[in-house]
Amino acid sequence: MEKRQILWGKVLLVVYYCCTMAAAQTNFSTDQSALLALKARITGDPQNKILTNWSSNSDVCNWVGVTCGERHLRVVFLNLSEFHLTGTIPPELGNLSFLAGMRLENNSFHGTIPGELAGLRRLTLFSFGFNNFVGEIPSWLGSLSKLQILNLYGNGFSGSIPTVIFNLSALQVLDLRYNQLSGEWQQSIYIQLFN
């Protein structure tokens, strides 16, 4: 009887291990697919950092600008700051469900910021400054309850600031300077809060 219990224990352990590995592989594939969608939208990479380094044949956690968490090996930080990239942001980036920080400032990304990024509930840092984004500042940014730093300075955003942004209780820095926002005071808004 005891041997049978030990055998079943080993079988369950192997099944658990296989299921865990399959789930990790699925999550890894999701993160890799999201970042490869971004790579596909990049039309200019003068330093050749993304186009030559990001490959489906290599571990996403070793890609330049990508940081993975130690526990789940999921993408937790994306730092493409000052890579001088040109392109647009794909909606697939919203699938990076473990992402806590995203720095894309000082590039030439353009267009609008996709609404699918509203699903990035772990975000604490969202820095898209000095790019060429246009349209209104997305109101869904107000649903990112963990957001501490929101930098959208130096773009072509127009309209008014969504009031829901001011309801973000964790927000410490809000920088919206150098946009085409309506209202004189909205042209130069920079707020640093201390909780």
Q: At residue 193, does pLDDT exceed 70? A: no
Q: What is the DSSP string of 58-81?
A: S-GGGSTTEEE-TTT--EEEEE-T
Look at residues 117, 124, 51 and name the one whose alpha carbon lies nearest to residue 83: 51
Angle at 95 between CA 152 and CA 72, to 5 degrees: 110
Lowest mean pLDDT among 34-38, 50-54, 137-141, 180-184: 180-184
CATH 3.80.10.10 fits 2-192, yes or no: yes
pLDDT at 192: 73
Domain residue extents for the chain = 2-192
Confidence of residue 188 (pLDDT cuts 50, 70, 90): low
- And the tokens for 128? 């898209």
